[in-house]
Amino acid sequence: MTAQQISGYGTVTEPGAVRMERLLPGPIERVWRYLTDAELRRTWLAGGEMAEAAGGEVELIFRNSELTGADDPAPPQYSNEHRMRGEVLAWDPPRLLSFTWGDGSEVTFTLEQVGEQVRLELDHRKLPDRGALLSVSGGWHSHLDLLVTRLSGSTPEPFWPKLARLEAEYAERIPE
């Protein structure tokens, strides 16, 4: 099984919740570092410090216009920098990371070694409305695909055009 075989769309698992899976180049400790180390995380998602224990603080600093180097400026509905604070809910290296998102929703990453690859399962729950569900679905899809390219040493697609395309696709895929 390759990364491309499970790099598809997220699945709505319950109202206000989406799940995504990716199969990534391992080992699991390397993938864990890309989730938790601020410098590595900023190459595919967001920088910012993260406490290494449940109950600690996480700060995510999004600079999506800097992710791929070939991007247009942020679309009008997004800023060039967005900061978000949350709380670490679970910290069990290198298998489980969970934290609150800025809107009070919850993000959980579960990692499992599968041969030389790592299955990443992402659950984003307690989203307040359909708009948030569509936004995080397109966003996580874009960011996780970027993580695949970073771990594989590939060249990523420009971030903003991909995000715009995926947000429109999720709007069609997820019923009102």
pLDDT digits (tens, 9 = 90+) for 59-84: 999 999 899 976 677 777 887 889 99
* pLDDT tens digits for range 148-161: 999 999 999 999 99
User: 121-147 pLDDT, tens per residue?
Assistant: 999 999 999 999 999 999 999 999 999
pLDDT of residue 1: 33
Nearest to 69 by CA among 166, 168, 146, 152: 146
Q: Is the pLDDT of residue 110 over 80?
A: yes
Burial class (CB in 10 A: 0-12, 13-18, 19+), 67: buried
Domains of the chain listed by start with CATH number = 3-173 (3.30.530.20)
Give me the pLDDT at residue 7, please: 52
- The residue whose two tokens read 């991007």 is 71
| Gap between the Cα atoms of 163 and 176, Å rounded | 20
